[in-house]
């Protein structure tokens, strides 16, 4: 385990080198937030509450889901590049679990961006947007745990799509299409509350609402104890299902892998 934490720590430190990049990253996240904040400000008009959802809940939802969405973005061409260049052969020889190592490296990078991109964005946004405070210390901690579970759901979906590199010329298109589904169905581009009923009913059967919407609801104090347990159970259920799928694709892929030269 210690080995894998080291991988995460290395990635975390590597990111510190690119200071200018991360200033630009904060700006980019902030501007995306301003776009959606302005859209919903205009949609709300003079209203403060629509269907029991206050404008500050919408703003908070966007800063969490859009902010985490940007913070969790990573190089999704990683596996394809390794396979195309054949360097995956060297990786497989190392006495570490490649998938687990990839997860921890990405997690290190994600953690870096949560601290140095997401948090500064939230702090700046507090000056002009009416964000809600967390609904309590316990809820804040549960929110962080569910955000980590959400990250794993997101990571596994990404890994499954990336593992198609074993069979396809390029997975860029599939990854982009996957991201559209995540952006919309996980509620980064439109708050879950305002989706049409049929779409919400559909999303209930998918892993997408466990990514950002569960942490958002816990943060806002929308869920009671029983509902929180159910939501955690759903997140873990999806992690198990997606993990099984990712193992399936990974093992098939490795069997199929032929590296030219070396």
Partner 1 sequence: MKDTISLFFAYAKLGLKTRFQYKVDTIVTSFAVFFRESAGIIAMYLALLKFDTINNWNIDELIFLFSLIFITYGIFIVFFMALRDFSDWIKHGDFDRVMLRPRGLLTQLLLCGADWMAAFGHGTLGVLLFLFSANRVGIEWNFATALYYIVIVISGVLIQGAIFLIFSSISIYVVETQSLKELFYWNMRKFAIYPLSIYNKFIQSILIFVIPFAFVNYFPAQFFLRKDDMSAYPEFFMYLSPIVGTVLYVIAYAFWKFSLRYYKSTGN
Site residues (vs partner 1, CB under 8 A): 20-21, 24, 27-28, 31-32, 34-35, 38-39, 41-43, 50-51, 168-170, 172-174, 176-177, 179-180, 183-184, 189-190, 194-196, 199
- CB of 29 vs partner 1, minimal distance in Å: 10
Among candidates 158, 154, 189, 200, which has minimal Cα distance to 176? 158
| Closer of 25 and 150 to partner 1 (Cβ) | 25
Cβ–Cβ under 8 Å, residues 113 and 198: no
- CB of 59 vs partner 1, minimal distance in Å: 15
| Closer of 64 and 190 to partner 1 (Cβ) | 190
CA distance 202 to 242: 18
- CB of 103 vs partner 1, minimal distance in Å: 25
| Closer of 184 and 257 to partner 1 (Cβ) | 184
**Alpha helical stretches, state H, 72-212:** 78-85, 88-93, 98-113, 119-126, 137-162, 172-185, 197-203
Give residue for tokens 């390794």.
Answer: 82
| Closer of 54 and 183 to partner 1 (Cβ) | 183
CA distance 93 to 98: 9
CA distance 22 to 28: 10
- CB of 98 vs partner 1, minimal distance in Å: 26
């Amino acid at each position: 385990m210690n080995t894998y934490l080291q991988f995460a720590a290395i990635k975390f430190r590597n990111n510190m080198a690119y200071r200018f990049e991360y200033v630009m990253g904060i700006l980019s996240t902030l501007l995306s937030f301003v776009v959606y904040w302005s859209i919903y400000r205009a949609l709300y008009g003079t209203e403060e509450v629509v269907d029991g959802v206050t404008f500050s809940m919408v703003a908070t939802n966007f800063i969490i889901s859009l902010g985490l969405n940007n913070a969790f973005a990573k190089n999704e061409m990683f596996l394809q590049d390794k396979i195309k260049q054949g360097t995956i052969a060297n990786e497989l020889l190392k006495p570490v679990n490649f998938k687990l190592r990839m997860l921890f490296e990405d997690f290190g990078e994600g953690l870096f961006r949560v601290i140095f991109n997401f948090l500064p964005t939230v702090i700046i946004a507090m000056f002009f947007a009416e964000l809600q405070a967390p609904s309590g210390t316990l809820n804040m901690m549960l929110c962080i745990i569910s955000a980590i579970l959400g990250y794993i759901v997101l990571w596994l979906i990404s890994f499954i799509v990336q593992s198609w590199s074993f069979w396809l010329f390029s997975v860029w298109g599939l990854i982009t299409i996957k991201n559209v589904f995540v952006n919309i169905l996980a509620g980064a581009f439109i708050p879950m509350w305002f989706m049409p009923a049929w779409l919400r009913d559909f999303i209930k059967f998918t892993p997408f609402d466990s990514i950002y919407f569960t942490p958002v609801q816990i943060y806002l104090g929308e869920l009671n104890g029983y509902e929180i347990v159910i939501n955690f159970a759903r997140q873990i259920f999806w992690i198990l299902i997606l993990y099984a799928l990712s193992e399936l694709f990974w093992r098939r892929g490795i069997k199929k892998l032929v590296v030219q030269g070396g």
